[in-house]
Amino acid sequence: MLLEVFVILGTIIVYFLRSRKKEETLSFKDGWWGRGQKPDTEEDATIWPFKVETTEKDLSDLYRRLDEARFSEPLEDSCFHYGTNSVYLRKVVSYWKNQFNWKKQVEILNKYPQFKTKIQGIDIHFVHVKPPCLPEGRSAKPLLMVHGWPGSFYEFYKIIPLLTDPASHGLSDEHIFEVICPSIPGYGFSEAPHKQGFNSVSAASVFYELMLRLGFSEFYAQGGDWGWLICTNLAQIAPNHLKGLHLNLASVTNMGFTHLLSILLGRYLPGLFGFQEEDVRRMFPFLKKGLYRILLESGYAHIQATKPDTVGCGLNDSPVGLAAYILEKFSTWTDLEFRNLEDGGLERKFNLDDLLTNIMIYWVSGCIVSSMRFYKENLQKGIGTQKHEKLPVQVPTGIASFPNEIMHTPQAWAQKKYTNIVSFHLMPKGGHFAALEEPELLAEDILQFVGRVEKEQLWRKKGE
């Protein structure tokens, strides 16, 4: 009788543990985002080469629109506080028309191999760069890198060589990567979903399928902005396939009582809440650096999370309007202090060729509306309401926290969500677009994170 009781109790415990583990995994979203009904036939898994191409007709239309642009007069001494200053915008448009060489930039875009493949009914565009040479007996580690809004796959063009050929750029070649940079569906040259509901979990599922199609059963993932959430969801969907997760933004949307208490008292009792001195500097006073900052800088998100198509129609029709909308984010999200400059500080960290190349990707692909819809698909049900927001991430995680992000997330907060943080570094400089702005710093952080995961084989210890 006693033996039977132990057997029954053991069965219950095993069932509970298995059920619990299952609950902590996000379901793969097998959707159909193509036009019309999903066909009965199996989807064609062919991968074909792709190159960026534009016609003279496309360029003539662009230049006509630039010539016919109407500029508003900015308020005196307003700098970038009201958005992109039209005095500086005129200079950008002049450069765009008279000096910017799009054909040269197309050559740069096409210097890395690009491909497309159909997944869940839509064509997925991706850059796939292998190391130029591998030491004998070595293998490259596959790394998925995901961009956000209003960025593109082009954000990674400066960091790709540092990861695929680190030794040639003064970095350790202990770990060499094979880099895959897809365009989020509805961004750049990835086809936009034709149905409602395509959110971050959908994108993570598509990219997981992409990596499996490329033959990678184990890989690393890296992201910021929407790439943070997509890669986080990927870690929740396929924790046994993702060896490590590296983020240059880690937001926590499911706030608990301790989070709220730390907001109230963390400035005065930082040690009690696990805050470092730098955390306090970046976060407090919280009304100014938290609440007010979010209110001042999140208007675009509210528009895009509610009625993206309305403003999108204007942006899709006007290249100058599109440039103004995107450039303002590259200014403010790189450094909030740039709002005090008439040129938005844009050329302090970037050059106009890079900024205009990113804008041109949005223009020639006509993707601004579909890219903005991604906000509505992710936020229309409210913050903190979705399953993935409540699930922990057990995959080994590295976080590079750049000081000029709009909002700072301290490690004490992040580890509530990411329960296996391997490295958390407060970076010395840089903002939101880290891969484009500070590629060396980001590459070094990725390399050290992967080095630690590999050395200790941490991906094999998930859940222990």
Catalytic residue positions, numbered: 225, 375, 432
The answer to whether 185 and 206 have CB atoms below 8 angstroms apart is yes
Collect all residues with Cβ–Cβ distance below 8 Å to 6 and sequence separation of at least 6: none
CA pseudo-torsion sign 269, 275, 276, 282: negative
Q: Which two tokens stand for residue 186?
A: 């509805």
Q: Which two tokens stand for residue 274?
A: 């696990």
Enumerate the β-bridge partners of residue 48. Answer: 116
**Rounded to 5°, angle at Cα 401 from 396 and 404:** 160
**Rounded to 5°, angle at Cα 229 from 264 and 440:** 90
How many C-beta atoms surround the C-beta of residue 138 within 10 A? 13
How many C-beta atoms surround the C-beta of residue 50 within 10 A? 17
How many C-beta atoms surround the C-beta of residue 308 within 10 A? 21
**Rounded to 5°, angle at Cα 438 from 437 and 444:** 155
* Helix, coil or strand: residue 375: helix
CA pseudo-torsion sign 396, 401, 402, 406: positive
CA distance 160 to 165: 8
Q: Which two tokens stand for residue 191?
A: 């086809």
Collect all residues with Cβ–Cβ distance below 8 Å to 29 and sequence separation of at least 6: 201, 202, 204, 205
The tokens 């995994």 sit on which residue? Answer: 25
CA distance 368 to 256: 35
Q: Which two tokens stand for residue 195?
A: 């149905």
Distances (CA, A) of 450 to 172, 220, 387, 417: 12, 8, 28, 20
CA pseudo-torsion sign 225, 48, 121, 359: positive
CA dihedral 263, 265, 268, 273 (to 10 degrees): -80
The tokens 């008292």 sit on which residue? Answer: 265
The answer to whether 378 and 227 have CB atoms below 8 angstroms apart is no
The pair phi, psi for residue 109, each rounded to 5°, is -60, -40
CA distance 422 to 338: 33
